[in-house]
């Protein structure tokens, strides 16, 4: 079976997704190593849930980036889901989330391009 030629836009897309996934992993690890909040049970519980969630989202993003790099259809679907959720989460934090909305919209645009869809078998 011949190897598919990876479009340049897919390379750019994977780079954006990978960098966007490494940042939450680093942030989550920094939150975990910063120590738990002192005080109420809920604060302590949240101090564990939020960093774990953040790292998990980053790891899922890296898996998606790898799948996009190799042209997997499931990675294309996963990336669509991740970035739609990202737009929703960023809209909740407006106006500070506007940069995130723009980046997520750019990634969704790149995912929807015909050459990206073709490369991922969609």
Q: Tell me the domain boundaries of the chain.
A: 8-119
pTM comes to 0.83
> How far is the C-alpha of 41 from the C-alpha of 96, rounded, in Å?
29
Helices (H), 1-122: 8-33, 41-69, 73-92, 98-112, 114-119
pLDDT digits (tens, 9 = 90+) for 40-67: 555 666 777 888 988 999 999 999 999 9
Residue 6's contacts (CB-CB under 8 Å, 6 or more residues apart) are 69, 71, 119
73 touches 121 (CB < 8 A): yes
Higher-pLDDT residue of 99, 96: 99
Q: Which pLDDT score is estimated for 2?
A: 44
Q: What is the CA radius of gyration of the chain?
A: 17
pLDDT digits (tens, 9 = 90+) for 11-34: 999 999 999 999 999 988 888 887
């Amino acid at each position: 079976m011949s190897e598919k030629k990876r479009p340049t836009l897919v390379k750019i897309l994977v780079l954006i997704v990978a960098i966007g996934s490494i940042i939450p992993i680093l942030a989550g690890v920094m939150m975990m190593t910063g120590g738990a909040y002192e005080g109420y049970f809920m604060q302590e519980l949240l101090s564990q849930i939020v960093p774990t969630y953040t790292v998990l989202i980053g790891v899922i993003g890296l898996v998606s980036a790898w799948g996009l790099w190799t042209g997997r259809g499931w990675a294309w679907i996963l990336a669509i889901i991740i970035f739609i959720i990202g737009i929703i989460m960023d809209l909740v934090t407006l106006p500070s989330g506007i940069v995130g909305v723009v980046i997520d919209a750019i990634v969704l645009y790149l995912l929807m391009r015909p050459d990206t869809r073709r490369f991922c078998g969609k």
